[in-house]
Amino acid sequence: MVEIMINCAVIGQGSVITIIIDDWKTVALLKKAIKDEKSNKIKCDPDGLQLFLAKKDGAWLSDDDALDAMLEREVDTSLFEKMCGSWRLDKNDLFGPQVSLGKGVVHVLVVLPEGEGDSGPASKKARHGYH
């Protein structure tokens, strides 16, 4: 059992939170940990959250001004891999032992249900690109 540190960017709130969680746990338990960490802002049940692996072209997204700008506009989540609730965090293509988690990066994009989070247009920042 290994604890991992996962940085999560909440779309529409412009915030990045860090969750420390055991690697054998599932994405569903990560959702619960995110909700518990942001319980003052996230009112939905944990299963209402959608999580996406924050990788583009095999690299984690940097936690920088470009990320801040991205979180303030529509995010096309079809560009990112959706994480299923039953997946274990130590899955090889998520956060398995051979995956470098890097520094100064974001690992997960968190999409809140419509109407959740801050009021106004910022609460509707995720755009689902279904073709």
Domain ranges of the chain: 3-127
pLDDT for 30-75, tens place per residue? 999 999 999 998 999 999 999 999 999 889 999 999 888 888 877 8
pLDDT for 71-102, tens place per residue? 887 788 999 999 999 999 999 889 988 888 99
**Count, residues in the chain:** 131
CATH fold group of domain 3-127: Ubiquitin-like (UB roll) (3.10.20)
Q: Give the pTM.
A: 0.86
CA distance 8 to 50: 12
Residue 124 has pLDDT above 70, yes or no: no
